[in-house]
Structure 1
Amino acid sequence: MSDAAVAKRYAEALFQLGNEKGTMDQLAEEFHVLKTTFDENNELVPFLKHPRVNNEQKEQFINNVFQSFSADVVNLLHLLAERHRIDIVPSVIDHFIRLVNDAKGMEEATVYSIRELSQTEKERLEKTFAKRFGKQAIKITSVVDPSVIGGIKLRIGNTIYDGSIQGKLKRIERGILTAN
């Protein structure tokens, strides 16, 4: 079974568990922190997958490092480390967050712009794109990207809305190249 399919199954199980216990929001918050931890620490996965580190040492490490997390999250980490699948944690988190957002009628988006967006600009974008996608809300993360030159580029899932000057220049270039 592929890692994506396995990650999806773990995410669905956690979603059901969180739904039954009423801890969905807490799990989602903890998973955001956990994903950041896994993304920023390149040695974490290799350490937890290393054959010379036995399961007892992995369990103790997970208990010490993630002691502030809920038992469900810690148990997931124990289970994945024991089954040598710790590298799918970010994928499990992504699937879980997607399930939570779908249940709430939400979507997460990333906006790339030349400067940090003001709160008013974020709110306008959230309202506009929430209507366009038929969602109740959109949570925007702003990323400063100097290559945008001007305007914005917005990514929601696999869809990109490119209203940047860089994007317009590339479209003009493609038009000129295909005309020749």
Structure 2
Amino acid sequence: MAASSASHANETARRYASALFDLANEKGELETVSKDLKSLIAMAAGSKDLSVLLESPAFAREDKAKGLVAVAAKAGLSKIASNFLATMATNGRSDEVLSAAGHFDELYAKHRGVKRALARTAEEMTADQRKKLEAVLKKAVGSDVELETEVEPGLIGGIQLRVGSTLIDTSVASKLDRMNTAMKGA
């Protein structure tokens, strides 16, 4: 039952994201709305109060809508983004705002023909390393690539690279795991 509820919530977030994408595209504000939603995601990650406002059922829908509109105004978000937040809150979907923002981001990347890649490394990549990796990825996938990086000290060394659903794992931790598995089978 919980999985069905989660998939329904995910589908609802996709529908809201799709409607927002269509509206922003029609108004010529895709880039603005994308930046606004990324700002909102960052604000929610850095603010327990905003996360509670989005997630908690303790607030009335109208109060959530007013609060989110106030946050949007203070953050300088566009009218479209502000109205989107108010609509989701009024419809009792404020807990799905961040998921919808993520789906919007996927739609916007697809619209621009950009592939997404995530590189996990044991240490922060230098600007030169990042630039070289982006060039290799662009050549490999045949389109522009937006590279996101994460530091995961447990990898010890090497890199985990995800492009779409493909994972390439050349981390030292992964190599050690494979060696351990091979030795157990010997």
Secondary structure of residue in 1 paired with 2:88: helix
1:92 CA drift (Å)? 0.7
Q: 2:72 matched to 1:63?
A: no
CA–CA distance in structure 1, aligned partners of residues 163 and 153 of structure 2: 20
Q: Which residue in 2 is equivalent to 1:17?
A: 23
Q: Which residue in 2 is equivalent to 1:111?
A: 119
Q: Which residue in 1 is equivalent to 2:60?
A: 54
Q: Which residue in 1 is equivalent to 2:176?
A: 169
Q: Is the 8 A contact 2:13 2:103 kept in 1?
A: yes
Secondary structure of residue in 2 paired with 1:109: strand
Q: Percent identity?
A: 29
TM-score (norm 2): 0.85
RMSD: 2.0
Secondary structure of residue in 1 paired with 2:14: helix
Aligned pair partner of 1:7 in 8, 13, 21: 13
Q: Is the 8 A contact 1:45 1:86 kept in 2?
A: no
CA–CA distance in structure 1, aligned partners of residues 103 and 55 of structure 2: 22
Q: Is the 8 A contact 1:49 1:84 kept in 2?
A: no
Residue segments in structure 1 that go unaligned for 5+ positions in a row: none
Q: 2:163 matched to 1:156?
A: yes
TM-score (norm 1): 0.87
Letter in 1 for 2:33: L
Call closer, same or farther: CA 1:145–1:49 in 2, change over 3 Å. closer
Secondary structure of residue in 2 paired with 1:150: coil
What pairs with 1:36-47 in structure 2 (closer than 5 Å)? 36-47=42-53
Q: Is the 8 A contact 2:55 2:94 kept in 1?
A: yes
Higher helix share: 2
CA–CA distance in structure 1, aligned partners of residues 55 and 110 of structure 2: 32
Q: Is the 8 A contact 2:69 2:83 kept in 1?
A: no
Letter in 2 for 1:121: Q
